[in-house]
A and B are shown apart, each in its own frame.
Chain A
Amino acid sequence: MGKVTVATVWLDGCSGCHMSLIDMDERLIELAEHIEVVYSPLVDRKDYPDSVDVAIVEGAVSTDEDEAKIKKIRTHTKVLVALGDCAVDANVPAMRNPIKVQDVMDRGYTDPETVALQPQIPTENLPRLLPYVRPMHEVVDVDVFVQGCPPSADTIYYVITELLAGRQPDLNQMTRPGA
């Protein structure tokens, strides 16, 4: 049997979940015998492959780009894992939700209190903010929810090895929101 193909994706998160993933240390070498990472911020590949066994996705859905990405990923993936609190419940990125998008943009790009040089709102090559930041499962179906900010390396290792064994990971005792 060939290796299980895995993608890791970074939407609106801080990359802390990816740090935690790398924190698996030498267990990564063990996992590498069973999995092949086909798409990831750590892999030089631009387009999402046609078919991936497991996608591990960090971050909330905050922009039109995030939304298009996660929808595409869902179509081309067997098992979708929401990794971390941003993916699971939108977490810190969602704190902007009570504020209007225009006000968020002004604060970041033109407000003299926060911007000293060349105040201007970028219009090109930048994903557009959606009115609300949403957790992944409000946009696509999610198969495994992994809470934690970030989930520990042990938790991520457990998730991957359980999935490799063909089981649904039972994360109740492993992690919680904010862990």
Chain B
Amino acid sequence: MAVRSRIKTLKIDGRDVSGHEDESILDIARENNIYIPTLCQLDGLSIVGACRLCLVEVQGWRKLVPACATYIEEGMEVFTNTERLQNYRRMILELLFSEGNHICAICVSNGNCELQDLAQKLGMDHVRFPNLQPVRTVDMTHERFVVDRNRCVLCARCVRVCDEIEGAHTWDIKGRGVDARVIPDLDIDWGDSPTCTSCGKCVNVCPTGALVVKGQPSGEMIKRQEFLVYLSEIREARNG
């Protein structure tokens, strides 16, 4: 059996908590039922720290840090829900909305969307930034699935699940800033992809209406993610 790492003690929102040194602030917060909003993080996938919604404050640290990508340290004091954080989180969400085309009323994921849930949970009652109205594409060439880049938040969950769990590495992100977009292989039509196995894992981990099942009526586009932790555990066990 592997030697288990050392135990560290710390404070989160004034509560004394502890965990192993190889655990993140987010892990420990969740173990103690302390809510930190997340979007790009998904149990079973590697950590990328792409969305910044999980930012927390640490006493004495000048920068805010992503809870999902920061290991706990002995004696650290973490604050997860200060007014400053609430403001930043709301701003991040508003930027995500203004940078895409999110028209929930006509989106197939309306009612089953992690972005929409976050908007409600974090009290985003309107978007203060002007919408950029980017021209983004929809690719319906795949036999069973659709990618609607208007709804993509660039969390890279699809990229990671396809690479790390399915082992196909069909997806990638091309371009920077507002031009960034998910592409199959070397930016070809999804339907022509020689690597895609049509497993549907990307669709199921996508938090929004960006990856959906073709022909699925609104209200029934429910994503299933339970498989993920299970598969990644098997993979880890196999690799020793």
Contact = CB atoms under 8 A, between A and B. Distances in A.
Genuine A/B complex: yes
Given A94-B131, A97-B133, A172-B120, A178 B107 contact: yes
B133 A145 contact: no
Which of A94, A132, A134, A176 has the most chain B CB within a 10 Å cutoff?
A: A176
Given A82-B126, A91-B103, A92-B106, A177 B116 contact: yes
A85 B110 CA distance: 13
Nearest to A175: B120
Given A85-B104, A94-B133, A178 B110 contact: yes
Contact of B103 (A95, A171, A172): A95
Interface string A127-156: 000001011011000100101010000000
A11 to B, nearest CB: 16
Contacts of B120: 172-173, 176
A177 B123 CA distance: 11
Given A88-B126, A137-B126, A178-B116, A149 B131 contact: no
A66 interface: no
Contacts of A21: none
A122 interface: no
B125 A149 contact: no
B161 to A, nearest CB: 26
A171 B124 CA distance: 10
B125 A171 contact: yes
Contacts of A138: 130
Interface string B91-113: 00000010001111111001100
Contacts of A166: none
10 contacts: A82-B126, A89-B131, A97-B133, A135-B127, A137-B128, A145-B126, A147-B125, A171-B125, A178-B103, A178-B105
Interface of B: 97, 101-107, 110-111, 116, 119-120, 123, 125-128, 130-131, 133-135
Interface of A: 82, 85, 88-92, 94-95, 97-98, 132, 134-135, 137-138, 142, 145, 147, 149, 171-173, 176-178
